[in-house]
Amino acid sequence: MISSQLFVIDPIARLNPAKDSSVALMQAVQRAGQAVWVCTPADLSAVAPLAGEGRGGHDTWALAQPVQLGAIALEAGAWQVPDPWFALGEVRLLPLEHFQVVWMRKDPPVDEAYLYATHLLDIAERRGVRVLNRPSSLRAWNEKLSSLRFSHLMAPSMVSSRVEQLAGFAREHGEVVLKPLGGRAGQGVVFASAATPGLRALLELVTAQQQLPVMVQAFLPGVSAGDKRILLVDGEPLGAVNRVPTGGEFRSNLAVGGAPEATGLSEAELCICAELAPALREEGLFFVGIDVIDGRLSEINVTSPTGVREVERLGGLALADLTIERLGF
């Protein structure tokens, strides 16, 4: 039987094949001669089998579809996407044990539906299914809060829901950045300072009247030179892209207009990766994207890290293929 890998993703028609890292990984699986299947979190289910029902002891299932991906080639510095770029096969109800690897690549928000999906994937993992990234770690490693495990590598930071504490941090550090803990792609990230008019009102807004904690960090002026996304596979940095703010923005995320450029890694950045690697490996975080600004760790992205297409386009590195090779098949 041909080896198969399942990608738990947003509906495939919504993905941008010229930018989406999940598509790049799926194509690499296909190039490696394995079958690619897709489903959404809503397609996962669990059954407690009764004796004699003939389900073979399987308890986690997916309503999944095989997908055949068209070739997406890099020409003149841009990805050329065929239309249509994918073809879906017949929906089948399959046990998750059917798949050699299950990739949990659903984009945030990490809401109730997302969390319940990780619990279902926990069951499959206990049955021996290889789930990437490990479901329990997806729950435990909030992409903002998890950086605090390595706080000595970060810019000065605080997490609080109390306006007075946050305002005090702003007074101490002058210019700061406010980050919602559940945000992604730079959404909701706000620059402020102790002199910002209506600072307390802003803090009341972002904390939902002191009910939700937010992260506040000292602003790093070095962000004007870029924010590096470094992609680590099984703890090893395989590629990076520098994202430079444009158009008067301080945010450098590609989703808000940051300009990607080729980059290497400094000694300080390599040291950050080396310090993170043992914890990432131990907790089953196989494919991770970290953000580093001016030599300081900013975030650890574990849900559906992006950047593969940019690394491949700018650096000429077959990052997706290298990632699939690291699975060891």
Query: For 113-174, what is the HEC assignment?
Result: HHHHHHHHHHHHHHCCCEEECCHHHHHHCCCCHHHHHHHHHECCEEEECCHHHHHHHHHHHC
Q: Name the phi and psi angles at 192, rounded to 5.
A: -150, 170
Active site residue 229: yes
CB 301 within 8 A of CB 289: yes
Q: Which of 106, 179, 296, 313 is catalytic?
A: 179
Active site residue 243: yes
Active site residue 301: yes
CB 67 within 8 A of CB 37: yes
Q: How far apart are CA 58 and CA 70, in angstroms?
A: 33
Q: Which of 59, 291, 310, 312 is catalytic?
A: 291
Q: Which of 296, 301, 309, 313 is catalytic?
A: 301
Active site residue 130: no
Active site residue 299: yes
Active site residue 228: no
Q: Which of 105, 106, 134, 144 is catalytic?
A: 144
Query: For 247-299, what is the HEC assignment?
Result: CCCCCCCHHHCCEEEECCCCHHHHHHHHHHHHHHHHCCCCEEEEEEECCEEEE
Q: Which of 105, 106, 184, 251 is catalytic?
A: 251
CB 61 within 8 A of CB 97: no
Nearest one of 228, 232, 211 to 263, comparing CA atoms: 228
Q: Which of 125, 227, 269, 299 is catalytic?
A: 299
Q: Which of 105, 106, 228, 229 is catalytic?
A: 229
Q: Which of 106, 184, 243, 309 is catalytic?
A: 243
Q: How far apart are CA 3 and CA 39, in angstroms?
A: 17
Active site residue 144: yes
Active centre residues (catalytic):
144, 179, 229, 243, 251, 291, 299, 301
